[in-house]
């Protein structure tokens, strides 16, 4: 019986207590108190911590390389947090005898042996991409699977390496052997390659053997670096797009300082609002440095655009309300640009036409969802729309909704003011996190 606790700043657990039966042989030859427990070796322990439920595994590898049956029970405090786990381990008896020519191999490697018509027996480790290397108490290689053989050949150039002292030809493994723990995991990086090395000490009747399981991380590291470089490149592009949009905005504002008619000034302001709406998408993406997927918070985007437009329109007496019922709606950059322009156009129409000859008013933006559809309502309590005449703004809205969002745009009859509705499907590019 053992009690394990999670480490505070490490992804491991540690054995804090143990007890053995007085009348039976101990499973462990020596105490394991203070030893690290790794998730890759004892998944049932970490599953109990995560789920707060009992878990079991029929064949687990102990700290000393023996096969046991393991049962784990979480220990909860008053706040129902798993502060420790209680573990029971029983040795697993061998159900079948082992052939004489396999007697010298560790039981853990040959638990399941199939002998169809007495043909050569394939060892499971031969099928693994991980390197499996077994050394004796003198650190000499006594077994390696095909991946392990390739691993040693590639790094040493040796064609034959049976009974070589492994840490002499591969010095970076010396740290693994020097660690006294029977089970140990270490990430090693050389000049050209990176590895995760797992060590399991297996104690036999006459000597102690060491099993190394080596996973090559080199290609994965290269892909991570490539992905990181691409992410930096994309963020740099977003920076440049945002900066270029700000430059265009500055040029338009300079042009507006010239003597313009009221109609021309209004057209310039509408263009500035559209540019700001697009720029807001890239600002929200760049605000989150961990935003590798380039997802945009649609609610935050609508608020950002709305408050800016109310400010530039000097519509202090018009109230803007954004309702979303705590819905977290996100979309990718391309869809976000379309939504930004749609919100911009609908707000511009409301600000421009809804409150003529009126001092006060209210515009409501409401987000919701129905089944697999996102529903966006934009309504005002203004004078209302007598006829839905075609305009450049309406054309922008219709095209963006139908072609970019594959949705529908409609004007809903209302007793007061104008009420518009947009529906578009939830997809891989448009998603709700708390649904």
**Ordered structural domains, the chain, with CATH:** 2-91 (3.30.450.20), 103-216 (3.30.450.20), 221-432 (3.30.565.10)
CA-wise closest residue to 284 among 342, 329, 230, 350:
329
Alpha-carbon gap, residue 426 to 372, rounded angstroms: 6
Alpha-carbon gap, residue 62 to 60, rounded angstroms: 6
- Other Cβ atoms less than 10 A from the Cβ of 323: the count is 12
DSSP tag of 203: E
DSSP tag of 336: H
Instruction: Note the pLDDT of residue 97.
Output: 46
Prediction pTM value = 0.55
Instruction: Note the pLDDT of residue 222.
Output: 78
CA-wise closest residue to 423 among 403, 401, 404:
401
> Mean pLDDT, 10 residues at a time, over the chain (435 residues)?
88 89 73 81 83 80 68 91 90 54 45 37 58 87 83 83 83 84 79 82 75 84 77 80 88 82 82 91 83 81 92 83 91 92 92 84 93 93 74 86 93 88 93 76
Q: Are strands 295-297 and 329-332 parallel, antiparallel or unpaired?
A: antiparallel
């Amino acid at each position: 019986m053992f009690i394990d606790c999670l480490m505070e700043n490490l992804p491991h657990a540690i054995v804090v207590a143990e007890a053995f039966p007085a009348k039976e042989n101990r499973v462990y030859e020596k105490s394991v108190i203070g030893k690290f427990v790794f998730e890759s070796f004892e998944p049932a322990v970490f599953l109990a911590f995560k789920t707060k439920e009992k878990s079991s595994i029929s064949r687990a590898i102990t700290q000393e390389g023996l096969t046991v049956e393991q049962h784990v029970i979480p220990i909860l405090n008053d706040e129902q947090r798993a502060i420790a786990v209680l573990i029971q381990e029983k040795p697993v008896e061998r159900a079948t005898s082992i052939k004489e020519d396999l007697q010298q191999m560790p039981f853990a490697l040959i638990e399941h042996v199939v002998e169809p018509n007495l043909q050569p027996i394939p060892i499971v480790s031969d099928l693994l991409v991980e390197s499996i290397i077994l050394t004796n108490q003198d650190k000499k290689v006594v077994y390696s699977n095909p991946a392990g053989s390739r691993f040693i050949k590639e790094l040493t150039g040796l064609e034959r390496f049976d009974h070589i002292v492994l840490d002499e030809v591969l010095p970076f493994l010396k740290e693994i052997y020097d660690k006294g723990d029977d089970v140990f995991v270490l990430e090693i990086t050389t000049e050209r390659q990176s590895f995760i090395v797992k060590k399991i000490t297996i104690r036999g009747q006459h000597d102690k053997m060491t099993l190394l399981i080596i996973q090559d991380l080199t290609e994965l590291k290269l892909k991570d670096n490539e992905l990181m470089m691409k992410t930096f490149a994309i963020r740099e592009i977003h920076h440049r797009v945002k900066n270029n949009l700000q430059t265009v905005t500055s040029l338009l504002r300079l042009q507006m300082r010239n003597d313009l008619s009221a109609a021309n000034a209004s057209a310039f302001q509408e263009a500035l609002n559209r540019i700001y709406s697009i720029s807001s998408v890239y600002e929200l993406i760049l605000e989150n440095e961990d935003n590798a997927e380039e997802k945009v918070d649609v609610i935050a985007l609508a608020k950002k655009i709305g408050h800016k437009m109310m400010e530039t329109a000097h519509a202090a007496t018009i109230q803007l309300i954004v309702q979303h019922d705590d819905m977290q709606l996100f979309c990718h950059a391309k869809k976000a640009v379309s939504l930004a322009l749609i919100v911009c156009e609908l707000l511009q129409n409301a600000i421009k036409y809804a409150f003529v000859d009126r001092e006060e008013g209210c515009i409501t933006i409401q987000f919701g969802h129905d089944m697999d559809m996102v529903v966006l309502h934009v309504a005002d309590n203004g004078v209302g729309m007598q006829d839905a005449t075609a305009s450049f703004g309406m054309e922008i809205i219709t095209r963006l909704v139908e072609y970019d969002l594959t949705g529908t745009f409609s004007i809903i009859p209302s007793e007061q003011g104008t009420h518009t509705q947009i529906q578009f499907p939830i997809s891989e590019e448009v998603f709700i996190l708390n649904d």
